[in-house]
Amino acid sequence: MINNAVPKRIDSMTSRTAEWTCMSRAASSFEVDAHYHSDDCLSALLVPGYVRALLEMRTGRSVFRRFLAK
């Protein structure tokens, strides 16, 4: 029998949910306010450099919280 199975999306692409979760955790690792701050320093290393530079700035984090992370 010939296997004509279509490759699963998870085998060919990354999960968008995982990408957004990683970006949210990276943003919270740079946050100064104890209510939002997390100790997850690994996620900041996994996001692309331009995203990390944006999240390191206070205004970048506020834009992310206000418009993107809803």
Any domain includes 32: no
Question: With bands split at pLDDT 50, 70 and 90, how would you rate the model's confidence at 62?
Answer: confident
Record the pTM.
0.70
For 12-60, the pLDDT digits (tens) are 677 888 888 888 899 899 988 888 888 888 988 998 998 899 888 988 8
pLDDT at 11 over 80: no
Any domain includes 67: yes
Any domain includes 10: no
CB-based burial, 30-68: b 16+ in 10 Å, e otherwise:
beeeeeeeeeeeebbeebeeebbebbeeeebbeebeeee
Split into its structural domains, the chain has a count of 1
Any domain includes 9: no
pLDDT at residue 23 in the model: 87
Any domain includes 58: yes
Any domain includes 65: yes
pLDDT at residue 7 in the model: 65
Residue 60: domain span: 40-70
Any domain includes 3: no
